[in-house]
Amino acid sequence: MVFKELIATEYKTIQDEICKALELADGGSKFEEELWEREGGGGGRTRVFQNGNVMEKGGVNFSSVYGKLPDSVRKAFKVDSEDFFATGVSIVIHPKNPFVPIIHMNIRYFEMDEQTRWFGGGIDLTPHYVIDTDVRFFHHLLKKTCNKFSPDFYPQFKKQADDYFFIKHREETRGVGGIFYDRLKPENTGLSFDDIFKFSLEVGRTFAPIYTELIDRNREQPFTEVEQEWQSVRRSRYAEFNLVYDSGTKFGLETNGRIESILMSLPPMAKWIYNFQPKENSPEAYTNSKLIKGINWV
């Protein structure tokens, strides 16, 4: 089997595993699947979850696409070749309960030729309310995953997550970070492509144990209209980042991707309240105080 076809097959398996774990954790609705084809080459499986017991909206998407890169993307990637292949799994979950966090994961592989190919991805957490023990648990498992392959991965990828998931016009991070990496290849990791592939799969398989635990910890927490409104405000920040800065959204739009799959990451409901300021010493103010780069969670 060609290397890129093997990657796509394994990513589809990751998608299956995560969907089963999330359906079990939610205990209510099932994912709806839509198979689609991309004009220009390839396609994917979009799986969306709506109005479950825990998840108000969520998606676990797989894609494997190929074709010609637009000039704008070639310039951004600083490559000369036009032909590309890309495959990956992308996940965003927006829960009902404000005490269950939003979570995002992406694992992906991009190839133009034998010399121009790499892996990217990561997992990051966006709590509506920062609960320190939950965030430490989240970062601890990510560090454990990274350490299986290199002690340098977690500190490097954590910093890259802090820098990437930063809403510049708000001067705040989207959430409490996680890990983010791009263009991983033997030249910049000291690992073989096979080992980098194994790392990508390990990141994918870290998702379900992390998120199902965070669901179980917080799904029964009672909440008020005030806390629900704060959830809507935090969701609006999530939407701002994805529409203004997210490279995956831009790549999908510029390569004629499927719009429903690309915008799956947006929350079902959000609010933009003019000049909203949380009350001093409130849980909302505490959460705002943690939306900064460089916090050591482990």
Q: Which residues are catalytic?
A: 104
Residue 259: alpha-carbon gap to chain centroid: 17
- Residue located via tokens 């999530």: 238
Q: How far apart are CA 262 and CA 250, in angstroms?
A: 9
Contact 26, 52 (CB under 8 A): yes
Euclidean distance between the first and final Cα of the chain, in Å? 40
Q: How far apart are CA 77 and CA 84, in angstroms?
A: 12
Helix ranges (DSSP H) in the chain: 3-26, 71-77, 132-147, 153-164, 186-189, 193-218, 225-244, 247-254, 259-262, 283-289
Q: How far apart are CA 118 and CA 256, in angstroms?
A: 21
Q: Which amino acid is at 166?
A: F
